[in-house]
Amino acid sequence: MEIRPETPQDIFAIRELTEAAFAPMPYSDGSEAQIIDRLREEGNLTLSLVTLDQDQVLAHIAFSPVTIDRTQGNWCGLGPVSVAPSWQKQGIGTTLIGEGLSRMKKRGAAGCVLIGAPDFYQRFGFQSDPALSYGNVPRQFVQFLSFDGVIPKGAIRYPPAFEISGA
Ligand SMILES: CC(C)(COP(=O)(O)OP(=O)(O)OC[C@H]1O[C@@H](n2cnc3c(N)ncnc32)[C@H](O)[C@@H]1OP(=O)(O)O)[C@@H](O)C(=O)NCCC(=O)NCCS
């Protein structure tokens, strides 16, 4: 399997894969594929990686710039991330997320934030903090991974693309 940045030829497959992966998720409002398209249009798709097996796109991850009140540095937001339903639970998501985080660190990001399941993301070192918030989302789902040891504090602001989501 290969992990590489998206090309224009991948865009349709990324949309289909994202829709299929999030469709059964109770926490999804169905906006994730559109968010990725909008991030790309806005110029806010900082990093978009795909996992391929024989030219088939099996997984995708997006990173975009975020700001955090009372916190300096170039922080990024992780997500949406998805693995095609029939390829889940084989380690593909873990490998892709690890590769994405490593690339963002090499690019000089201060760290990364996300809204997601603590059980899954703690394997990468993500944690929550009472001082880090995103709207009314319960704090344990608002997670960060610091690359330089700084603990982020304040409200997270994602790019406009995310305003279509219900969060
Ligand atoms: C989340 C996702 C990207 C993980 O990819 P994956 O390739 O299936 O993950 P891996 O095989 O690397 O790891 C599987 C592990 O993740 C856990 N996991 C997957 N989704 C989870 C979730 N929503 N909450 C908690 N744990 C989750 C599995 O239970 C499993 O745990 P284990 O390693 O302790 O057995 C994939 O399941 C997916 O596309 N889900 C639908 C879209 C989605 O929810 N995206 C993330 C939004 S935060």
pLDDT tens-digit profile, the chain (167 residues): 999 999 999 999 999 999 999 999 998 999 999 999 999 999 999 999 999 999 999 999 999 999 999 999 999 999 999 999 999 999 999 999 999 999 999 999 999 999 999 999 999 999 999 999 999 999 999 999 999 999 999 999 999 999 977 54
Q: Which of 73, 128, 79, 69 minimizes the C-alpha distance to 101?
A: 79
Alpha helices in 32-158 (DSSP H): 32-42, 92-106, 118-121
Q: Is the CB of 91 under 6 A from ligand 1?
A: yes
User: What is the position in ligand 1's atom list of the atom closest to the CA of 21?
Assistant: 41
What is the CA(93)–ligand 1 centre distance, in A? 7
Tokens representing 32 are: 């994730």
User: What is the position in ligand 1's atom list of the atom closest to the CA of 88?
Assistant: 8
Please report, for the domain that includes residue 75, its CATH number: 3.40.630.30
Give dist(CA 166, CA 73) in Å, integer. Answer: 27
Total domain count, the chain = 1
What is the CA(70)–ligand 1 centre distance, in A? 31
Q: Which domain holds residue 132?
A: 2-164
Ligand 1 pocket mutation, candidates 27, 120, 128, criterion most atoms within 8 A of CB: 120
Give CA 97 to chain center in angstroms. 8
Residue 78's beta-bridge partner residues? 63
Cβ atoms of residues 19 and 41 within 8 Å: no
What is the CA(132)–ligand 1 centre distance, in A? 23
Q: Is the CB of 93 under 6 A from ligand 1?
A: yes
Cβ atoms of residues 56 and 6 within 8 Å: no
Q: For atom 4 of ligand 1, which residue has the closest CA? A: 93
